């Protein structure tokens, strides 16, 4: 659940009135990538039908992905990267037609970088239920209508099952490493537990072993912000005659999420009680700078994401529990014996450090014994997207084993 682009990770401290005015115009009804839009750097793989844990079937599933580097003749140099909640497959590359944002891990992936594309074949799919090319609520069903509110409920395990089918389709039998942060860390954990022996190394960054009641409660407020928007229409807004989607609800959900992605001191240190301006372009008189900041990023988000996908992915995160059906969390984690980097962020108030310590303590392959590797940073949960030098050092340590 993260800011996924450089402009989000390193924002201007004080948003100008002109920047706010630029976002006052109506957003698209959905920020999803749709068939007919520029493809950009995407590739697509058809994986057939998928049966979910809830007993529903999604026919004709398509997975969107990007890849970087080349698969070697032995087929043993591939690395799988799972993205976080608001991320996608665009790890590297500038914003361009088809890609609303710059690549979110460009400092990590590329020639001569930690995930060296001269050495490795990096594969990054957009998860099932996402909104950047993989089958999701904004996709067309077999009758040619958007799934909308009829899209099936998904779990993290459903999404990993779809990823495994995608990997089979493109012909990769085993990965040199599987890496994921935040929601992607949930997928990385489940990958090893569902498909043991299909990766040599594992990296789980800023992710918990189970989604707690506190985290589910925080998620509920975001979900209800979307559901309570009259323009949501039960999820069936794509052909709304007025062309208005649930922008207000989605922007509010984003504002709520952003407050959890940074530490409890970071926004105060940046903004304090500073005023944006004496008169706000949105009306209502004076305005705090932090309010303008949150409004800017909330409204910006509506131009690159889909409200139904946000609901689908957050509910999938709520399902996360590595111990479900496996004898509990400790018993499940005890099966992770391969070399594993478990990284936690002490200032993270979303997925707190105690969760990573549980993973570390009970995973025999953890690099640092019974404790998670610490990523000390003032940036909270988002640190794994910002402190790329430190993250890179730890990934290099894992890959060197």
Residue positions annotated with a catalytic role: 182, 348, 381
CA distances, 259 to each of 114, 227, 326, 342 (Å)? 30, 20, 34, 24
In angstroms, the CA 186 to CA 307 distance is 21
> Which residues share a beta bridge with 78?
121
CB 261 within 8 Å of CB 382: yes
Reference 377, options 343, 347, 398, 351; nearest CA is: 347
Helices (H) and strands (E) in the chain, counts: 13, 12
* Closest among 257, 241, 208, 246 to 357, alpha carbons compared: 208
CA 204 to chain CA centroid, Å, is 13
Instruction: Please count the CA atoms within 13 angstroms of the CA of 145 that sit on its side-chain side.
Output: 11
**Rounded CA separation 245/14 (Å):** 28
Angle between helices 183-194 and 307-318 (to 10 degrees): 50
* DSSP assignment of 228-285: TSGGGGGG--TT-TT---SHHHHHHHHHHHHHHHS-TTHHHHHHTT-EEESS-TTSSS
State how far Cα 116 lies from the chain centre: 22
* Helix-helix angle 307-318:213-227, to 10 degrees: 160
Q: How far apart are CA 357 and CA 180, in angstroms?
A: 17
In angstroms, rounded to a whole number, what is the distance separating the alpha carbons of residues 128 and 8? 24
Phi and psi torsions of 13, nearest 5°: -60, -40
Take residue 326 and report the two structure tokens written for it: 């496996």
Both tokens of 101, joined, read 């944002």
d(CA 10, CA 182): 19
What distance in Å separates the CA atoms of residue 195 and residue 172, rounded to the nearest whole number? 13
């Amino acid at each position: 659940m993260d800011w996924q682009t450089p402009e989000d990770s390193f924002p201007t401290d004080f948003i100008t009135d002109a920047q706010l005015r630029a976002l006052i115009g109506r957003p698209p009804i959905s920020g999803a990538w749709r068939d007919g839009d520029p493809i950009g750097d995407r590739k697509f793989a058809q994986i057939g039908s998928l049966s979910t844990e809830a007993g529903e079937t999604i026919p004709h599933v398509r997975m969107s992905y990007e890849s970087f580097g080349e698969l070697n003749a032995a087929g043993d140099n591939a690395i799988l990267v799972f993205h976080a909640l608001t991320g996608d497959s665009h790890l590297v590359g500038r914003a361009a037609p088809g890609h609303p944002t710059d690549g979110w891990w460009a400092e990590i992936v590329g020639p001569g970088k930690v995930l060296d594309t001269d050495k490795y074949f990096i594969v990054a799919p957009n998860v099932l239920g996402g909104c950047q090319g993989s089958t999701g609520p904004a996709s067309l069903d077999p009758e040619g209508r958007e799934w909308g509110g009829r899209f099936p409920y998904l779990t993290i395990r459903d999404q990993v099952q779809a990823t495994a089918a995608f990997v089979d389709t493109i012909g990769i039998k085993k990965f040199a490493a599987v890496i994921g942060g935040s929601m992607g860390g949930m997928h990385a954990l489940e990958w090893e537990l569902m498909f043991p022996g299909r990766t040599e190394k594992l990296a789980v960054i800023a992710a918990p072993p189970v989604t707690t009641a506190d985290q589910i409660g925080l998620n509920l407020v975001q979900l209800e912000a979307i559901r309570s928007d009259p323009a949501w229409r039960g999820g069936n807004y794509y052909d709304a005659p007025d062309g208005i989607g649930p922008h207000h609800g989605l922007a509010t959900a984003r504002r709520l999420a952003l407050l959890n992605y940074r530490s409890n001191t970071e926004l105060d240190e940046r903004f304090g009680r500073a005023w944006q301006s004496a008169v706000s372009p949105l009306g209502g008189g004076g305005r705090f700078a932090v309010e303008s900041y949150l409004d800017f990023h909330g409204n910006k988000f509506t131009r690159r994401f889909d409200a139904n996908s946000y609901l689908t992915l957050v509910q999938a995160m709520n399902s996360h529990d590595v111990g479900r059906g496996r004898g509990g969390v400790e018993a499940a984690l005890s099966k992770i014996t391969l070399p594993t980097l478990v990284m936690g962020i002490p200032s993270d108030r979303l997925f707190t450090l105690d969760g990573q310590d549980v993973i570390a303590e009970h995973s025999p392959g953890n690099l640092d014994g019974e404790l998670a590797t610490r990523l000390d940073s003032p940036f909270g949960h988002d640190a794994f997207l910002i402190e790329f030098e430190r993250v890179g050092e730890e990934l290099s340590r894992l890959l060197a084993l």
